[in-house]
Amino acid sequence: MAEPLDIVIAGNGPVGMLLALALESSGLDSVLVGSEREPADRPIALAYNSRILLERVGAFRALAATPIQSIHVSQRGGFGRTLMRASECGLEAFGYVVSYSDLCASLRKSLATPALAGEVRRYAPSRQGDSMELEVASDGAQRVLQARLLVLAEGGPLAQRGSSAGRFAWTGRRDYGQSAVVALVRTERAHGNGAWERFTPEGPIALLPFGDRLALIWSTTHESAHALCALNDAAFLARLSGAFGARLGRFVEAGARSEFALALRYRRSSPEPRVLAIGNAAQTLHPVAGQGLNLGLRDAWDLARLAEGTERAAIGSGAFVRRYVAARALDRGAGIGITDALVRVFSNDNRVLSGLRGAGLAALDLAPPARRFFARRMMFGARALP
């Protein structure tokens, strides 16, 4: 029987493609499997650390990226606000807003070997237990691959299709009772490369600079989100102005709107051999603070570096999987915890909590070291240096 591949990556989104690119110089035999569907064209926020990772694989230079140079945080109906500037951290930007489809195209172009067009349908340990057997639907036919390690790199039902799928059940869930309304909007005043996070009792409103417009992510109740998408542009802009305020003048233009439900889901990866989940296959976060994709990209990079430094025969072993889970535990746990706490603490109209939130924002605004500490962890993850 032929030697198994070292790693098969299921999912050719940004996380899967970054992992494949990071493995190209490792000497390991890896294959990326994914669909040929065109990705959605929507703005996405990349943290500064994600820029560094993309630069390392040659996928950032071609992107049209709008820098986020300041972040203004406030709450509706309460005092307290804070303004963070990237220059305080010695950086040109906290992060960048890019088109998701452009990001995928840039990563795809950087790949030395294109993804295998197809889908992993099922997977199961081999009889010898030294690899995983994968059933791949490709070009209308079924193929069987063997790999020392299968990496699930995108959300969806794949994690439930394997004979060992029970370990990938969602072990943590929280329904926020919110949906996000997303759209491109324009304001009277130029954004000046600033981003805004405005907390309201129904959920946060985020505005991110994207070219000469702003990307809106408006978290609110399911009913309100549905109603907002049904409004005409004038009525929608009036509602947005009432919820956000006049910091940027009037809202004067709104593009097409869409909505999607928000929830927290994560898997406690069991340290068993041969399969790992990363990115959205491992955790799906609320968009507040923009941590989801950036956490997934760090998952991919750390996994690639671990695989590169591991003897080939040991890749995918129980010890290998345990080392990866331990290496990612702090960053992953902090990303999940901070995002969840922000939503729960700020998405309510409790007057006591409103006062505490205001005091916290005011204190943060008066303490540059605290702002830098918080900002660096949003940019680089929990293991960032002070």
How sure is the predictor about 169, in pLDDT bands with cuts at 50, 70 and 90? Answer: low
Residue 278 has pLDDT above 60, yes or no: yes
How sure is the predictor about 325, in pLDDT bands with cuts at 50, 70 and 90? Answer: very high
Write out the two tokens for 365. Answer: 């605004």
CATH number for position 35: 3.50.50.60
Residue 22 has pLDDT above 60, yes or no: yes
Question: How many Cα neighbours within 13 Å face the side chain of 356?
Answer: 9
d(CA 216, CA 289): 13
pLDDT tens-digit series, residues 116-139: 988 888 888 988 889 999 999 987
CB atoms within 10 A of CB 306: 16
pLDDT greater at residue 38 or residue 73:
73
Query: Quick check: is 83 in a domain?
Result: no
Query: Quick check: is 23 in a domain?
Result: yes
Query: Quick check: is 147 in a domain?
Result: yes
Mean pLDDT of the chain: 91
d(CA 174, CA 231): 29
> What are the C-alpha distances in Å from 186 to residues 98, 223, 269, 286, 362?
17, 25, 42, 24, 29
- pLDDT mean over 166-192: 88
With beta carbons less than 8 A apart as the criterion, state whether 320 and 311 touch. no
d(CA 131, CA 126): 6
Query: Quick check: is 205 in a domain?
Result: no
- pLDDT mean over 143-151: 94
Write out the two tokens for 147. Answer: 């790999």
pLDDT tens-digit series, residues 279-296: 999 999 999 989 999 999
Query: Quick check: is 168 in a domain?
Result: yes
With beta carbons less than 8 A apart as the criterion, state whether 201 and 212 touch. no
Number of folded domains in the chain?
1
How sure is the predictor about 36, in pLDDT bands with cuts at 50, 70 and 90? Answer: confident
Query: Quick check: is 337 in a domain?
Result: yes
Residue 28 has pLDDT above 80, yes or no: yes
pLDDT for position 270: 65
Query: Quick check: is 289 in a domain?
Result: yes
Residue 93 has pLDDT above 60, yes or no: yes
- In the chain, beta strands by DSSP E: 5-10, 30-34, 43-47, 66-68, 70-75, 81-85, 95-99, 116-117, 119-125, 132-138, 141-152, 172-187, 194-200, 203-210, 213-221, 251-254, 258-266, 275-277, 283-284
Exposure class string for 255-294: b at 16+ Cβ within 10 A, else e = eebebeebebbbbebebebbbbbbbbbbbbbbbbbbbbbb
| Domain around 294 | 5-64+97-172+264-350
pLDDT for position 268: 72
pTM for this predicted structure? 0.93
Residue 115 has pLDDT above 70, yes or no: yes
Residue 373 burial class via C-beta count within 10 angstroms: exposed 0-12, middle 13-18, buried 19 and up: middle
AA letter at 122: R
Query: Quick check: is 47 in a domain?
Result: yes
With beta carbons less than 8 A apart as the criterion, state whether 216 and 359 touch. no
pLDDT for position 238: 97
> What are the C-alpha distances in Å from 120 to residues 66, 70, 133, 155?
35, 42, 10, 13
> What are the C-alpha distances in Å from 30 to residues 5, 23, 149, 312, 368?
6, 7, 9, 12, 45
Contacts of 117 by beta carbon, 8 Å cutoff, 6+ apart: 34, 35, 36, 138, 139
d(CA 102, CA 57): 15
Tallying the residues shown for the chain, one arrives at 386
